[in-house]
Amino acid sequence: MSGQLKEVRLRIQSVTSTQQITKAMKMVSAAKLRRAQDAILQMRPYTQKMQEMLSNIVSSLSDNMVLELADERAIERVLIIVITSDRGTCGAYNTNVIKAAKQLIADKYANKDVTILPIGKKGYEYFVKHGYTVNADYWSMFADLGFENVKRAAIYAQQAFLNKEFDKVELAYSQFKNAATQVFVTEEYLPIPKVEKAENQKETDFIFEPSKDTLIAELMPRILNTQVYKAILDAHASEHGARMTAMDKATENANEILKSLKISYNRARQAAITTELTEIVSGAAALQG
């Protein structure tokens, strides 16, 4: 019986230590989430308006003007930028991003030559392990997350598209909604998608200053770089939200296990005391008899 009590005591100590760790990790993630959430909420309206402007410009250009980054061609080679995290302990976050990318491949590019450009260690490890063609130049980006660093991956994708190494570039990542909700999405990156015009919609008339060619050549890469940066900020905030939620659930689960273990310990202790009392009473009775 003493051995059983010792085993339960050790388990209680182990679960208590784990609970302290998950509480600390939840607090750290909450602090990081606040900063990441502020960054994406400030960035999102600007990026959305810039993307809308770019799509409208591309849609309203005359037929005789060719934009290479908007060039739609037969799809044979595809690049998918998959944004995961460097670390685990964030529930099913990384699994869901990878699942979204795999579903995209299965639905649209099953018979195409697909290359994965992972951003984040977890995605890199998964796609290498499972035999995908992987560009391993940018997976460690979260170690030094900044616009200039992110821009390198965006410029690579644009240049590869211009060089016709890829006919299509897509993003797979998690859009941040709140700490408990992430939306796992895939979206077209290149060629620049055109906006479908509604019936009776007036033609948008843009006034370009300086010249149209000069402005678009300068504007397009900037907006495309910003689009990738926004996706990474979304993913970064989603990661911390998912980790905070996962650690909160882990803390609650540890608390439930502790309650169960303490009940088991008290029952075993009561049984041990009852056994000892019975032995004492039996011994005393034997001596008197």
Cβ proximity of 170 and 78 under 8 Å: yes
Contact (CB, 8 A) for 37 and 175: no
Instruction: Give backbone dihedrals phi and psi of 106, rounded to 5 degrees, phi first.
Output: -65, -40
* 252 φψ region: left (φ > 0), alpha (ψ -120 to 50), beta (else): alpha
- Is 237 designated active site? no
Residue 55 burial (10 A CB sphere; 0-12, 13-18, 19+):
middle
DSSP 197: P
CA dihedral 86, 87, 93, 94 (to 10 degrees): 50
The secondary structure of residue 189, as a DSSP letter, is E
Indicate which residue of 15, 78, 81, 90 is catalytic.
90
- Give the residue numbers annotated as catalytic, written as ranges: 90
